[in-house]
Amino acid sequence: MNPRIRLDDLLHSPYKEHIQTLVLHWVRAELPAHGLTYVDYTRTVSTLLLTTQSPDLTSMIVQAVLAQATALHKTSEWVDQELKFEGMIHGVDRQDFLRLELSQATTIDDRLLDTYNERVNRFQANG
């Protein structure tokens, strides 16, 4: 069994470099930052890594969200929100959670349906 990744581990190899690489990908995507900084990006990616406990899964999530953000002309604020969402639902059945979110909405509008579709399609080949 692999030891758990702890907060202090993020300051050392190999996790520190892994986080820096993912943050650099985010910066290179050149999305409108809307006030977010490199420190914000680092905090979000670090939190995702702590949540997933897997550098590979963290990379896959970050790359999928960045690809989708670029394709859909989203901002870094959106990326930040979606990486936090992905971390939150790690370990929860994705489809069930998304349906629950829709079912609990007071009103279903185009924005909510767009968000639902973006999240459902994130890991699809053309999503």
Helices 110-121 and 76-89 cross at an angle (nearest 10°) of 70
User: Is-contact 117 95, C-beta < 8 A?
Assistant: no
pLDDT in tens, the chain (127 residues): 568 898 889 999 999 999 999 999 999 999 999 899 999 999 999 999 999 999 999 999 999 999 999 999 999 999 999 999 999 888 677 777 788 778 878 888 999 999 888 988 888 866 5
Closest CA to 100 of 91, 111, 90, 89: 89
Flag whether the pTM goes above 0.75. Answer: yes
Q: Which tokens sit at 22?
A: 């993912």
